Amino acid sequence: MLGGSSYANALQWLDSHLDGHGLQSATDVAIPYDLPEEAALVTTFETAQQDGELSALAAWFDLAAHVLTEFAETHGDIEPGPSMVRCWPHHFDIATYVQLEYGDFEDARGIGVGMSPGDETYGQPLFLH
């Protein structure tokens, strides 16, 4: 879908969809962490050489999104409770953070439940907590 699109065009597309749902545009958001150099240098989105690579990755994220959303809904009675399921761009994992106590994230107890697509340490997708 983004094959050949520039970063600016992708951001414009994202902003139009966010605006359509009454949400803040992505253009106005300052990222509070440093992106990996290779991600920061992206100027165009290219389609992968083999569609199977992206299809497999998409299937893992789709599975994780469904399982984690169900998990968060099932455990919605926990106070303060689970966050929305998010893809965390600084790790490229998908997770919900279940806050077990009120307070700031530095001191209050909580647990992350999610799926990592793998990294240099473990080269395959895994669910973790």
Q: Which residue has the higher pLDDT, 35 or 70?
A: 70
Q: Which residue has the higher pLDDT, 1 or 91?
A: 91
Residue 75: is its pLDDT beyond 60? Answer: yes
Q: Which of 5-9, 17-21, 28-32, 50-54 has the highest mean pLDDT?
A: 17-21
Residue 48: is its pLDDT beyond 70? Answer: no
- pTM of the predicted model, to two decimals? 0.60
Q: What tens digit of pLDDT does each residue of 87-104 get?
A: 887 778 899 999 999 988
- Find residue 46's DSSP bridge partners: none
Residue 38: is its pLDDT beyond 70? Answer: no
Dihedral angle computed from the Cα positions of residues 52, 54, 116 and 9, in that order, rounded to the nearest 10 degrees? 180
Residue 106: is its pLDDT beyond 70? Answer: yes
Residue 60: is its pLDDT beyond 70? Answer: yes
Q: Would you list the DSSP string of 56-123?
A: HHHHHHHHHHHHHHHHHHHTTTSSSEEPPPEEETTTTEEEEEEE-SSS-TTTS-EEEEEEE---SSS-
Question: d(Cα 74, Cα 113) in Å, to the nearest integer?
Answer: 13
